[in-house]
């Protein structure tokens, strides 16, 4: 198994160290008073985004994660050593849920972004904190608080510039291997791809974008049929959707069926920019795309990954759509109007 988009892990943060009961005793200071230090803080468990990762496979084999405990306090009011935090690298697009309550804890979408998922316990206070006018020699200190224990579920939604959407055996894997260095399994039978694959499509002038080959959708996938729900969620994080339909099928019927599956799963997926590639054009003669009525007026590009027909045209068009989408979704700059508010944003503030 090279890919995993789900993991369930058991977390135990570090306990806080106990406060110390101690009294200062030196040669010329026989009654120096309490000076027991505080316990150290227990280690946290933190998830950290890593754009170099594309799978949760490592965490499949690290089900139990424990952080270090804090050390007890020392004399002379010295605080004990805090427990070392545990940093777990996860791929971008990872969504975190509490396994018991199903509450959504957060989502990792940026490189180096961190989310605290299990908090370490506070260290206990040393006995010097409890000195008072009526109690000059306190003989008690606080115990450290226990670290948080919880079970979390991680769900990965692949983040790519363009996602390949189509039924099984539509030529998605062949197209990905033709445009990038990715080498997904390719064979002349359905369901060859059982796990998503990522490939970087490059141009001669150092431009590039990331393409995701998502396993083929089947009818009623939105109801959970087959592995539909596991695959459909990967479409959510793609900026552009590239529908791929083989030229030897009922193209209009398949396109409408794909739209139905996406709309039934999440209607807002149809708001994403999309492009239709008619694959395996080397098997057709005298084919005309203007003879088919596609809903929504989608742009159609006939291609052949086997012969390279129109692949450069497809790459350039995808690049244009990606750049347009980035400009459309980019936050307004300091001198640009905010479209949501309809006024001008002021980013400068007077220093306090």
pLDDT at 343: 39
Name the domain boundary from 113, 132, 156. 156
Q: Which region among 11-20, 165-174, 249-258, 330-339 has the lowest average model confidence (pLDDT)? A: 330-339
Is 343 inside a domain boundary? Answer: no
* Residue 211's pLDDT band (cuts 50, 70, 90): confident
Looking at the 3D structure of the chain, how many domains does it have? 2
Give the β-pairing of 86-90 and 45-49.
parallel
Answer yes or no: are the C-beta atoms of 275 and 321 closer than 8 Å: yes
In eight-state DSSP terms, residue 292 is: S
Is 347 inside a domain boundary? Answer: no
User: Is the sign of the CA dihedral 166, 170, 172, 175 positive or negative?
Assistant: negative
User: Is the sign of the CA dihedral 167, 168, 169, 173 positive or negative?
Assistant: positive
pLDDT at 189: 34
pTM for this one? Answer: 0.66
Is 30 inside a domain boundary? Answer: yes
pLDDT at 198 over 60: yes
**Cα 290 from chain centroid (whole Å):** 40
Answer yes or no: are the C-beta atoms of 144 and 18 closer than 8 Å: yes
* Residue 24's pLDDT band (cuts 50, 70, 90): confident
Average the pLDDT over 180-209 and give the result: 64
Is 350 inside a domain boundary? Answer: no
- CA atoms of 223 and 202, how far apart (whole Å): 36
pLDDT at 220 over 60: no
pLDDT at 342: 40
pLDDT at 231: 64
pLDDT at 71: 96
Mean pLDDT of the chain: 81
pLDDT at 351: 41
- CA atoms of 149 and 118, how far apart (whole Å): 7
- CA atoms of 86 and 1, how far apart (whole Å): 26
pLDDT at 152 over 60: yes
pLDDT at 348: 38
6 shares a domain with 114: yes
Is 335 inside a domain boundary? Answer: no
Average the pLDDT over 135-147 and give the result: 92
Residue scoring higher pLDDT (165 or 2): 165
| pLDDT tens digits along 31-71 | 778 999 999 999 999 999 998 887 888 888 888 999 999 99
Is 342 inside a domain boundary? Answer: no
**CATH number of the domain encompassing residue 109:** 2.70.210.12
139 shares a domain with 211: no
Tell me the angle at which helices 172-179 and 311-329 cross, rounded to the nearest 10 degrees: 90
| pLDDT tens digits along 113-123 | 999 999 999 99
188 shares a domain with 219: yes
**CATH number of the domain encompassing residue 191:** 3.40.50.300
Name the domain boundary from 156, 186, 205. 156
300 shares a domain with 267: yes
131 shares a domain with 168: no
* Residue 225's pLDDT band (cuts 50, 70, 90): very low
Tokens of 31: 């009654």
Name the domain boundary from 116, 139, 156. 156
pLDDT at 90 over 80: yes
| pLDDT tens digits along 268-300 | 888 889 999 988 887 776 666 666 667 667 888
pLDDT at 98: 94
184 shares a domain with 148: no
178 shares a domain with 311: yes
- CA atoms of 12 and 96, how far apart (whole Å): 16
* Residue 176's pLDDT band (cuts 50, 70, 90): confident
pLDDT at 163 over 50: yes
210 shares a domain with 171: yes
Answer yes or no: are the C-beta atoms of 92 and 109 closer than 8 Å: yes
Residue located via tokens 């959510």: 236
Answer yes or no: are the C-beta atoms of 226 and 150 closer than 8 Å: no
Is 1 inside a domain boundary? Answer: yes
Q: Which of 320, 244, 317 is nearest to 279 (CA)?
A: 244
109 shares a domain with 29: yes
Tokens of 202: 């490059």
pLDDT at 195: 63
| φ, ψ for residue 261, nearest 5 deg | -65, -45
Residue scoring higher pLDDT (159 or 66): 66
135 shares a domain with 29: yes
209 shares a domain with 168: yes
The whole domain housing 3 covers 1-156
Q: Which of 75, 107, 106 is nearest to 92 (CA)?
A: 107
pLDDT at 159 over 80: no
169 shares a domain with 104: no
Helix (H) or strand (E) holding 179: helix 172-179
pLDDT at 12 over 90: yes
pLDDT at 194: 47
pLDDT at 295: 66
Q: Which of 160, 149, 143 is nearest to 209 (CA)?
A: 160
DSSP 214-261: PPPP-TTGGGT-TTHHHHHGGGGG-SEEEEEEETTS-HHHHHHHHHHH
285 CB-contact burial (10 Å; exposed 0-12 / middle 13-18 / buried 19+): exposed
Is 228 inside a domain boundary? Answer: yes
Answer yes or no: are the C-beta atoms of 294 and 256 closer than 8 Å: no
pLDDT at 349 over 50: no
């Amino acid at each position: 198994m090279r890919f995993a988009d789900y993991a369930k892990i058991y977390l135990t943060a570090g306990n806080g160290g106990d406060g110390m009961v101690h009294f200062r005793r030196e040669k010329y200071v026989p009654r120096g008073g309490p000076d027991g230090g505080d316990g150290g803080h227990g280690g946290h468990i933190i998830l950290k985004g890593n754009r170099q990762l594309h799978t949760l496979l490592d965490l499949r084999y690290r089900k139990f994660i424990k952080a270090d405990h804090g050390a007890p306090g020392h004399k002379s009011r010295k605080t004990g050593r805090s427990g070392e935090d545990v940093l777990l690298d996860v791929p971008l697009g990872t969504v975190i849920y509490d396994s018991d309550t199903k509450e959504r804890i957060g989502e990792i979408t940026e490189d180096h972004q961190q989310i605290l998922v299990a908090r370490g316990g506070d260290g206990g206070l040393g006995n010097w904190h409890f000195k008072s006018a009526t109690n000059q020699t306190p003989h008690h200190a606080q115990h450290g608080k226990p670290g948080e224990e919880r079970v979390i579920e991680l769900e990965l939604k692949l983040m790519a510039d363009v996602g390949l959407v189509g039924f099984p055996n539509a030529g998605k894997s062949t197209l990905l291997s033709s445009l990038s260095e990715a080498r997904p399994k390719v064979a002349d039978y359905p369901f060859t791809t059982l796990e998503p694959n990522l490939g970087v499509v490059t141009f001669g002038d150092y431009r590039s974008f990331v393409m995701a080959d998502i396993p083929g959708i089947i009818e009623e996938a939105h109801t959970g049929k087959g592995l539909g729900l596991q695959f459909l969620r990967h479409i959510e994080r793609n900026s552009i959707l590239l529908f791929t339909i083989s030229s030897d099928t009922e193209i209009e019927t398949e396109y409408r069926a794909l739209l139905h599956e996406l709309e039934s799963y999440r209607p807002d997926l149809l708001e994403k920019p999309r492009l239709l590639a008619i694959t395996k054009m080397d098997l057709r003669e005298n084919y005309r795309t203007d003879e088919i009525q596609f809903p929504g007026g989608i742009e159609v590009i006939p291609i052949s990954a086997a012969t390279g027909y129109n692949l450069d045209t497809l790459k350039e068009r995808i690049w244009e759509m990606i750049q347009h989408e980035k400009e459309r979704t980019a936050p307004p700059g300091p001198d640009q109007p905010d479209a949501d508010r309809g006024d001008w944003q002021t980013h400068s503030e007077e220093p306090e």
